[in-house]
Amino acid sequence: MSMMDAVATPRPVMGLYDAPMWDSIKAGAMQLQRCGACENWLYPPGPACPRCLSCDLVWTPVSGRGRILSWVKFHRHYLPAYPPPYNAIAVRLEEGPSMISNLEGAMPEEGCIGRAVTLVYATMPDGMVLPRWAYPG
């Protein structure tokens, strides 16, 4: 199946501040905004630091280390690109913010909350690159 025929991955919300993050993901090195004044990290991207309201934000690569905060398993077919069963996890990045993503290479299971995960870049059938997470090693 060519990329042209592949089921489309749901498009990200693309506000005024989101594009640099998705460009960095496509390049395989995810960046988030970091506050130049108080060093707070932002996710999702935005116009100002919620902690100190500074607009001095610097796109900075993340370490790619995080821990699982919670997880779910979808049993219903909501989206064409996602036939069930599939998982979603909430990950706390080492930098502070948390994000919703997927666990690659395994299904999450009882007791996985708190486990360390590392950032991986998954290329979807339509060519879109998604930041996902996997157990290290």
Partner 1 sequence: MKHPNPRNKRAAAVVGIGHTDWVADWARCRAGERPNDSYGYGIAALRNALADAKINRDEIDGLIAGPTTAYERLGELTGINPRWGGQADAVLAVSQAVMAIEAGYAEVVALVYGNDQRSVGTQYGGPEAMGGGAFLSYVYHSPWGFTSQGALYALTLQSYKQARGFTEAEMGEVSVAQRGWSSLNPNAIMRKPITIEDYMASHYVCEPLHLFDYCLINDGGVAIIIAEAERAKRMTDKPVYIEGIGRFDLNARATSLEPRIDDFYLPAQRAAAEQSYAVAGLGPKDMDVLQVYDSFSVHVPLALEGYGYCGIGEAGRFLRESRIGPGGALPTNTSGGHLSETYMQGWAHQIECVRQVRGEGGARQVEGARHVHYTSDVAGKCFSVIYGA
Enumerate binding residues for partner 1 (CB under 8 A). 9-13, 43-44, 50, 69-76, 78-82, 86, 88, 90, 97-102, 113, 128, 130, 132
Cβ proximity to partner 1, 88 vs 134, nearer residue: 88
> CA–CA separation, 95 vs 58, rounded Å?
14
Given the complex with partner 1, which of 41 and 137 has the nearer CB atom? 41
Whose Cβ is closer to partner 1: residue 50's or residue 137's? 50
The first and second tokens of residue 59, run together, are 């796109």
Residue 119: other Cβ atoms inside 10 A: 21
Tell me how far apart the alpha carbons of residues 76 and 84 are, in angstroms, rounded to a whole number. 6
As measured in angstroms, the least distance from the Cβ of 123 to partner 1 is 13
Provide φ and ψ at 80, rounded to 5°: -55, -35
Minimum CB separation from partner 1 for residue 7, in Å?
11
